[in-house]
């Protein structure tokens, strides 16, 4: 005899049927109920329903960064900035690398030194370039780059105007380090011009302020870069003419320093043109990197000329430090 079938639901009973696994029992955490709300990985205590468009993780308001499309988290923004190639000028400087810090620093130093020259007796003597002391006190090649004639307000005003007008443009194109080295090397070239072109007496015994040599180097470098573009503004040529004539009206400024700074600046401009290249490919990077050995070579030429001239005029004893 077969057993009777199990009783089924009563059609007249309005209650739904229940059974194992139908979720009708009491709810316990983690037993298939509602999921936990999304939280920010950096701030787990903050609920966020906004997701990063790049990685898809939740991101709280403090970690959200606006992107071209939607929102990105701060971690993805940092990663993108790290992997994005840096835009550079044809001379290797970062594009839009901030304010011209070097230009303003040089300008501030020149003004501060000029005020010190007016207030502190002997400061001009201690900082200016003197030919007979070039071997024993070589720091004067650099310190003179920030010295102006203390008796002439026109001298510093004219030089600082040129620095203000052309410095930011050159610093933006060359970069901070290149611009600073160009300024200092032009000043050194101006002092070398004094050694090569001035007679022993009185030229080597005169205190020469070297800021004009550096400024003149910047001017000629700028001219060389503009010649490549086929245009040199008339106003720039007028400034160069005034700067050339200034030593004949202001005492303590040597035209020999102007010539030395100009030649050095023009050589630096030529070096920059030879080693410049647009783009980020390997050949462009390699070519721009050649600027540095070229700069070292130019500095070595200036050093060799200076040492040769000092030994020729004063002998090897000129390099003995004074007591």
**Which residues have C-beta within 8 Å of that of residue 268, sequence separation ≥ 6?**
182, 185, 186, 217, 221, 295, 298
Residues recognised as catalytic: 212, 258
Grouping H, G, I as helix, E, B as strand and the rest as coil, residue 279 is coil
- The answer to whether 293 and 249 have CB atoms below 8 angstroms apart is no
Q: Can you say whether residue 258 is alpha, beta or left, with left for phi > 0 and alpha for psi between -120 and 50 degrees?
A: alpha
**Which residues have C-beta within 8 Å of that of residue 217, sequence separation ≥ 6?**
182, 183, 185, 186, 187, 189, 190, 261, 262, 264, 265, 268
Q: Can you say whether residue 23 is alpha, beta or left, with left for phi > 0 and alpha for psi between -120 and 50 degrees?
A: left
The span from the CA of 297 to the CA of 270, in Å, is: 13
């Amino acid at each position: 005899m077969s057993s009777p079938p199990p009783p089924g639901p009563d059609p007249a009973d309005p209650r739904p049927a229940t059974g194992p696994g139908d979720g009708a029992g009491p709810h316990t955490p983690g037993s298939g109920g509602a999921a936990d709300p999304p939280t920010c990985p950096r701030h787990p205590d903050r609920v966020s329903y906004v997701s990063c468009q790049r990685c898809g993780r939740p991101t709280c308001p403090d970690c959200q960064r606006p992107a071209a499309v939607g929102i990105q988290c701060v971690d993805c923004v940092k990663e993108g900035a790290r992997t994005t190639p840096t835009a550079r000028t044809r001379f290797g400087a970062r594009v839009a690398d901030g304010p011209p810090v070097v230009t303003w620093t040089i300008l501030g130093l020149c003004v501060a030194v000029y005020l010190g020259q007016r207030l502190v007796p002997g400061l001009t003597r201690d900082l200016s370039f003197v030919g007979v002391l070039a071997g024993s006190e070589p720091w004067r090649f650099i310190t003179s780059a920030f010295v102006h004639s203390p008796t002439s307000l026109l001298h510093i005003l004219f030089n600082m105007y040129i620095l203000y007008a052309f410095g930011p443009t050159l610093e933006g194109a060359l970069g901070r380090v290149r611009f600073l080295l160009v300024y200092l090397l032009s000043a050194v070239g101006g002092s070398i011009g004094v050694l090569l072109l001035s007679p022993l007496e009185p030229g080597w015994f005169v205190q020469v302020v070297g800021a004009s040599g550096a400024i003149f180097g910047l001017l000629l470098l700028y001219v060389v870069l503009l010649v490549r573009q086929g245009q040199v503004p008339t106003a720039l040529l007028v400034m160069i003419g005034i700067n050339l004539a200034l030593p004949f009206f202001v005492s303590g400024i040597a035209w020999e320093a102007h010539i030395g700074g100009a030649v050095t600046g023009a050589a630096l401009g030529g070096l920059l043109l030879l080693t410049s290249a647009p783009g980020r490919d390997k050949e462009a990077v390699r070519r721009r990197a050649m600027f540095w050995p070229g700069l070292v070579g130019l500095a070595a030429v200036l050093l060799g000329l200076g040492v040769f001239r000092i030994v020729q005029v004063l002998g090897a004893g000129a390099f003995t430090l004074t007591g």
